[in-house]
A and B are shown apart, each in its own frame.
Chain A
Amino acid sequence: TQLLEQSPQFLSIQEGENLTVYCNSSSVFSSLQWYRQEPGEGPVLLVTVVTGGEVKKLKRLTFQFGDARKDSSLHITAAQPGDTGLYLCAGIAGGTSYGKLTFGQGTILTVHP
């Protein structure tokens, strides 16, 4: 069974601060995704990283996939109250995985004005 350890579980910061969320595993994933979830809604995909060492940027969000494809990070620059939500990392195993996702525990981010 592949596991993804996500940290921290909770993050409470002031508007304008930077933050990083980590997602770690002892297993190799063929790709890794980051989702964001608002209260009362389902998760929505932010990004997919596929290549070891890959870095993707989405406005103030920077996603990195580790060289060994076992870990990933999400960095938010100058956080805003609109960034508040639950962030989830999810890994896809190699081979015939049928797109099944293994999720981390999630990080609840609260950005105070």
Chain B
Amino acid sequence: NAGVTQTPKFRVLKTGQSMTLLCAQDMNHEYMYWYRQDPGMGLRLIHYSVGEGTTAKGEVPDGYNVSRLKKQNFLLGLESAAPSQTSVYFCASTLRGVSNEQFFGPGTRLTVL
């Protein structure tokens, strides 16, 4: 039982490049979330999903897209990376209707030059 895993752990991009961050969970959780964490700003919700095939915008969705084709996977895409997207990205999941405890992955540190 690996919990929530994220790939990759680190990445450096040049402005304008694209990439996809992968999140996988093996706990059969319905709800999944993508956050970004910046110094002094806590975690901010980018996008979330309440089930396979569904996605919705969070607090800071601009510049990001997501997809949830399988229940266990939630992908975060950056189509044209900008320096403002330099951050640490966390994926989380939770079991619908239970304690609302979110289980977080270890994070992806992204630097956009």
Using a CB–CB cutoff of 8 Å, the interface residues on chain A facing chain B are 1, 4, 6, 9, 31, 33, 40-45, 48, 88, 90, 92, 98-101, 103-106
Cα distance, A105 to B99, chains bound together (Å): 23
* Structural contact, B42 and A44, CB atoms closer than 8 A: no
List of A residues within 8 angstroms of B61 by Cβ: none
| Contact partner, A99, options B56, B59, B100, Cβ 8 Å | B100
* A99 and B43 contact, Cβ closer than 8 Å, known pairs A41-B106, A42-B90, A48-B99: no
List of A residues within 8 angstroms of B100 by Cβ: 31, 33, 48, 92, 99
B32-53 vs A, Cβ < 8 Å mask (1 yes, 0 no) = 0101000011111100101000
B4 CB within 8 Å of chain A: yes
* Structural contact, B42 and A88, CB atoms closer than 8 A: yes
Using a CB–CB cutoff of 8 Å, the interface residues on chain B facing chain A are 4, 31, 33, 35, 40-45, 48, 50, 56, 58-59, 90, 92, 94, 96, 99-102, 104-107
List of B residues within 8 angstroms of A48 by Cβ: 99-101
Smallest CB–CB gap between A54 and chain B, Å?
A: 15
* Structural contact, B106 and A106, CB atoms closer than 8 A: no
* Structural contact, B45 and A100, CB atoms closer than 8 A: yes
| Contact partner, A106, options B42, B58, B96, B104, Cβ 8 Å | B42
* Structural contact, A45 and B40, CB atoms closer than 8 A: no
Beyond contacts A42-B105, A100-B33, A100-B45: 20 other A-B pairs, Cβ-Cβ < 8 A, are A4-B42, A6-B42, A9-B40, A40-B107, A41-B106, A41-B107, A42-B92, A43-B90, A44-B104, A45-B101, A45-B102, A88-B42, A88-B43, A90-B43, A92-B100, A98-B56, A99-B31, A99-B100, A103-B44, A106-B42
